[in-house]
Structure 1
Amino acid sequence: MLDHVGIPAADVEASAAFYLALMAPAGWREATRIPTPGGPVLGLAAGDGPPDFWLSPTAGPLAGELHLAFVVADRAVVDAVHGAAVTLGAEVLHAPREWPEYHPGYYAVFVRDPDGHNVEAVVHS
């Protein structure tokens, strides 16, 4: 349904470093960097694909929490994302587990990003 998503970040470089380290088990990389007067706009991609997750400088204070769920290849990647979150010192909202209330085989971890957003790595098996 979605082609790509972009979110504002208080510190684009710090947020990009967080996401690239967090999602390294899923093969994320910086694919595009566009300089702007307010700071860079960064496009992140999984593997060799085009950028589908964008970070841009915020025009003002961030208000509210976003929930971002990223599909990964398998449970081992969910577990590795959890390990990366712990290494980064990120707040783990929910450790990896199956969520049968969503549907059988829904396995996910939920963590907080530097801007306070709820980030999920999920596999549907």
Structure 2
Amino acid sequence: MIIDHIGMGVADYEASKAFYLKSLEPLGISLVTEIYGWAGFGKENKAEFWIGTGDVVQHPMHIAFLADSREDVDRFYQAAISAGAADNGQPGIRERYHANYYGAFVIDPDGHNIEAVCHKAINQ
């Protein structure tokens, strides 16, 4: 990992928090903390992805979350769609990136392209 954390402003804090709670759960990512109008999501009690109010909503951003398996990518996609995301690329191999790039893409409530990706070969 090369980035310690990332934060972005959202238009509707509660709607975005609900979206990310549901969408990131299949990846093992949960709400770690809330402070000063910001929600920090992460693993192992370390908030790495932050959303909050009070900042300009950047458009569009592309954020990719690392998945442990292709099944987790599939679960992320289904959870995000059921949380209200728009489809931006169903789960599958993206050979233009590399032979084992398995990703899914959705559009979040603020129009951001959110991805889950697994780089492992199918038998790993």
Partner of 1:43: 40
Report how far residue 49 of structure 1 moved.
3.8
Task: Quote the RMSD (CA, aligned, Å).
Answer: 1.3
For normalisation by structure 1, the TM-score amounts to: 0.89
Residues 10-54 of structure 1: per-residue CA shift (max 9 Å, x gap): 11221111011011111221111112xxxx1111112x2400001
Report how far residue 89 of structure 1 moved.
2.9
From 83, 87, 100, the equivalent of 1:88 is 83
Measured in 1, the distance between the counterparts of 2:3 and 2:92 equals 26
Partner of 1:122: 117
Measured in 1, the distance between the counterparts of 2:66 and 2:89 equals 16
* Unaligned segments of structure 2, at least 5 residues: none
* Unaligned segments of structure 1, at least 5 residues: none
Amino acid aligned to 1:15: S
Does 110-119 or 84-93 show the bigger shift?
84-93
For normalisation by structure 2, the TM-score amounts to: 0.89
Count of aligned pairs: 119
Moved over 6 A (4+): none
Q: How does 1:52-63 map to 2 (within 5 A)?
A: 52-60=48-56, 62-63=57-58
Amino acid aligned to 1:74: S
Residues 73-122 of structure 1: per-residue CA shift (max 9 Å, x gap): 00000000111122123101000010010011000000001100000000
Measured in 2, the distance between the counterparts of 1:66 and 1:33 equals 22
